[in-house]
Structure 1
């Protein structure tokens, strides 16, 4: 679950603009104007329900060291939000198989992703290590190899998911996301109506559509507004604290993300009319929710080539082992 703050700079967003509402003068940020990173693109739903990491039998290590390597790889994959466990290779499971090859005075760990039908979907080279260092039994080396390889494997899984989505006519790569809007609650005055109206207008596009039947929706979106008395404010002018929380839930009831909008306004300035303030809240929330759905569904991810491709990692000498 990822939370995007309306007023605070987040890992994903950092862009602030301002406008003048009908009542008073306040600064309203537009944090969804552009992205400042790709953290939100981390794989949320990889192809495997779980990824089995067998203890390698061709690791050029003894049994104990091979087991350490397997556990390091599984832990590194978990850090990438991929459900990986160490276990025996079995049919019908996604596997991440490691094989280590000698290449002159270096060894190169190769990680292959194998689908439940037994086909190798892709193979990636991990960090090359000198033969001497690999045979030293230094477990820090195995951990570093695993940590370097995990994002590469995660990228492959993301590409596999995207490739499956391309071939599925019902996936969100081939149709708009259907979104059931539960409305806005808790705002004083006409806030619920103004925010909701602008949200619906701003959300509808080629990739997202409002769905009236919740049972047919891919996601449900609900919004709660709270207005509480705040500090006295500058020059003794009282303020109120406004917090708007949008919650996005997938069809299975799992939270896909949140968009939170926070601001302080002149006390009671929103008791009756929200005007441009309400429109800004609805418009900016729609942009944030679109990004949540993009990231959660993976619909913008690049498909993996059918041949799986090949990449090589740069030569790295493990820290502390330089001669």
Structure 2
């Protein structure tokens, strides 16, 4: 199984999400979140997330701990031992619109020996006020993104043992301005940041990603933009597609995409990660 980090929901070009239900952790989940870490194994102690309300910080830490335990990695909230990794977060909430705000969290993984600290950045757009009333799907999505990034860091042999496939980004058709090249480079960057090898177009056994952009005619100063990403197996069969759309100021991407390309790639990766999970791993070389 592939394990990838989803860096966040696209702020500018976000894919639609199903309406979540209010999160209410069960007594069993609360108890599991503070389980002691075995002293003979490297576990993870999840510390406080600064900058978040406790209504979001507590349930999110518990969700991350549970997902790590689901991966057979000992994890607990605030409780550890000398051999445990420490995971802490620094967060900020930024209004995006009257309906949405962005949760941005920088995660820092501190090894037991105090060596090099690894960092994970994640951004998620959530409905305004949801930070005070988090929901199960939102928490699960954020926790999944964090833990899929952590697993290879905690166990570097995972990717090697599973036979990780390389991905070739063929290009993006229909993008205005410098979007064709900017989106390709941005997606390659996001894939690499999440541990996905980028390979040449003619590499045997490589998966292929191609993109298409379409823009509707401007109406009252705005226009609808659609992005469609297709993930293909080496034989050309389709693993699946990821689609994004949103209203943008008319003509705002006619020249330089700038950060919009990164935002688009981050949003696309959320869906592509789920598709990459479905791809059969390469057979380990004998």
- The answer to whether the superposition gives a TM-score over 0.5 is no
Structure with bigger gyration radius: 1
TM-score by length of 1: 0.39
TM-score by length of 2: 0.44
